[in-house]
Structure 1
Amino acid sequence: MKNILTEKFSKRLLIAGVVLLLIGFIMFVWNDWSFSADEKLKADKVAQFGDFVGGLIGSIWALAGVILFYVALTEQRKDFATNREVLNAQTDALKQQIKEFELQREELSETRKVFKIQSETLKKQQFESTFFNLVNLHHGIVNSIDLRSKENKYGVIEAVKMNLERGKMNEKIIEVTTGRDCFVKFCKGFRNEYRKLRRDITELSDLEIAKQAYKNYYKLHQSDLGHYFRNLYHIFKFIKNSEEKDKKRYTSLVRAQLSNDELFLLFYNGISEYGSKKFLPLIEEFHILKNLNLKDFIEKNKHSKFYKKSAYGE
């Protein structure tokens, strides 16, 4: 059956039909046709020949056409099947590529996460390295401060800068104070200056007297206090300008390094002309005065109103 329903067999039928057509034509017209222009056609012979062609040869050719049509359909079906297989293969390949792309995207996403973590870790390490260097520098500045107490000609003991004592051997040095202990004497000296102005000046407000008293006392110890507060300001400014999310964690660490005497002087430095523009906003933002004991001197003179409540951690 497979050998019959083929294009080759159909061609053979066509050739056989042509051969039979020729044979039939010869058989029907060989003896009866004179090929003369004046002779009439024999209708019965022509009809028989037509029946022969239509009945036998036409059937053979029709069969050949059916076989060719079947062959064409079969080949078309095979082509469709082949195309479907190719499309399925292409679809599978695309699906595989999509999976690979998804895997690559996930890998890139993980890589970005790793790079982001590494970048954040590096930034944090750089920030903390600079931060702790500034804190160590702050401790170095504090430790470098020194004061000498002397007895003047009236028998009064007062604190002076060590570098001012050079060449004054006629004055008796009875005590040397260094480091954080100097702030105890700074605070005492400022209180005395404030009380003196408060007693002598009555037309100024409490804030103006406090500013003037701090300015007067600051000039006496500008080399130490100026260096100290500038560095302290830059530590808090560095934290504020950084990309660190938990800024208050680091400001709390710095605040924990400050003694009550340091906070006391910081209080008046913040309202003075030396710190009111830049340092005071940081003091209020980061609650730097949270650990300051207000009961001594400040609350008594009602100076706590010079700052917003946020400066005290409220």
Structure 2
Amino acid sequence: MSWFDLNPENIGYSGMAAATDGGQAISGIAAVSFSTLDWRIYCASIVLIIILIYCLVSVIRRVELNFGSYWKFAVVLSAVAGIYAAFFIMLLWDEPFGLIAEKMREGTFGDSFGTLNTLFSGLAFSGVLITMLFQRKDLFETRSQIAHQQIESQFYSMLGLQQEVVKNFDLQERDGLEVVSRGRDCFKHWAGWIPHFYEEAVGSHEERIADSVSSLIDKHKADLGLYFRSLYSVFRFIYGCNHVDRAQFGLVVRSLLSDHELVVLFYNSLSSRGEKFKKYIYEFALFDNLEVDLLVDVGDINMFDFQAYGSNRNILEMLIRSPSIR
């Protein structure tokens, strides 16, 4: 055996491996590659990374840093880094660790990441498009919310004006010196005038009711005309708006109507002057709290369909017992 035939095994270097690449000998640990590592090493590495992340999160919480929504970006960046690491290991799976540096200097190695870079470029562009769609949705929701707030503001403004009309009512004696009633209490006197005019009227029951309402309105046209127009405007606004709480708006207005106020509205809606108001009566069940004892005749409840009385069980039972009167 000549000097030129010697190799590491012949001269007793037990720490050298026989791995060669391109004529270069690779010794010891340098010959180890990702494929030769035990699977337990990979499992231990994953567990170690999880522990490090947990410790980092614990430190952040302990020092009470305002991490906010940045954790989402951290998760995305960690996922991207993990994908690149997995792709790197896959490319160098059988490459000895001692030759990794030289392998990375090759042009073909850098070109191998072109596919992955193109993939992430496409994902980034898709993310921009998705972000734009979410922004458009948020802008639409913001505009919708602003529109709803404007509707609410306008509704309560109109309701306030209508209540101000009622508040400014006053009934005086004929000599105009003494005030009999103010505000909503005036409706108690107006509701009491309807049976009085009814006794003086002639004809059928419906005709006498119509004459009674006409006489009442003619007697107090200035106050009642303004009241009916203002209340009609409020319900027309509620009926025409597209607010999600439109029904709740109707309940708010209905809750502000007194018992005698409902009686005046009841009989006014039976006249030709209040015909247009009927659809709002049915839409918002305006007579849900109607006191039938205040009517000229209890049977008058049959002049409206059951939708006008909402969930008033007493009135609904009366309608069931006497449907033929309606």
TM range (shorter): 0.5 to 0.7
- Partner Cα distance (2:118, 2:219) in 1: 82
Aligned pair 1:139/2:143, yes or no?
no
C-alpha deviation, 1:120, in angstroms: 2.1
3-state DSSP of counterpart to 1:302:
helix
What's the CA shift string for 1:34-53, capped at 9, x where partnerless?
A: xxxxxxxxxxxxxxxxxxxx
Aligned pair 1:129/2:153, yes or no?
yes
What's the CA shift string for 1:211-231, capped at 9, x where partnerless?
A: 221012111111111110111
3-state DSSP of counterpart to 2:273:
coil
Which has the larger Rg? 1
User: In 1, are the aligned partners of 2:260 and 2:294 still within 8 Å (CA)?
Assistant: no
**Residue correspondence of structure 1 range 95-174 to structure 2 within 5 A:** 95-150=119-174, 165=175, 173-174=177-178
Q: Which amino acid aligns with 1:285?
A: E
Aligned pair 1:262/2:261, yes or no?
yes
- Partner Cα distance (1:182, 1:264) in 2: 13
What's the CA shift string for 1:107-145, capped at 9, x where partnerless?
A: 123212321231122112101111111111011100111
User: In 2, are the aligned partners of 1:207 and 1:303 still within 8 Å (CA)?
Assistant: no
Aligned residues: 207
3-state DSSP of counterpart to 1:136:
helix
C-alpha deviation, 1:95, in angstroms: 1.5
Distance 1:84 1:137, change over 3 A: same
- Unaligned regions of 5+ residues in structure 2, if any? 1-106, 312-326
C-alpha deviation, 1:174, in angstroms: 4.6
Q: Which amino acid aligns with 1:297?
A: L
C-alpha deviation, 1:297, in angstroms: 2.5
Aligned pair 1:245/2:244, yes or no?
yes
Distance 1:85 1:268, change over 3 A: same
Aligned to 1:305: 302
Q: Which amino acid aligns with 2:189?
A: K
TM-score by length of 1: 0.60
- Partner Cα distance (2:214, 2:108) in 1: 95
CA RMSD of aligned residues (A): 2.4
- Partner Cα distance (2:304, 2:279) in 1: 10
User: In 2, are the aligned partners of 1:207 and 1:306 still within 8 Å (CA)?
Assistant: no
Aligned to 1:280: 278
3-state DSSP of counterpart to 1:176:
strand
C-alpha deviation, 1:90, in angstroms: 5.3
Residue identity (%): 27
Aligned to 2:319: none
3-state DSSP of counterpart to 2:286:
coil
What's the CA shift string for 1:244-276, capped at 9, x where partnerless?
A: 122111100000111011111011111111111
Q: Which amino acid aligns with 2:231?
A: L
2:185 to 181, 185, 192: 181
- Partner Cα distance (2:228, 2:108) in 1: 83
Aligned pair 1:212/2:216, yes or no?
no
- Unaligned regions of 5+ residues in structure 1, if any? 1-81, 151-164, 167-172
- Partner Cα distance (1:111, 1:207) in 2: 61
User: In 2, are the aligned partners of 1:284 and 1:310 still within 8 Å (CA)?
Assistant: yes
TM-score by length of 2: 0.58
3-state DSSP of counterpart to 2:293:
coil
User: In 1, are the aligned partners of 2:170 and 2:179 still within 8 Å (CA)?
Assistant: no
Aligned to 1:294: 292
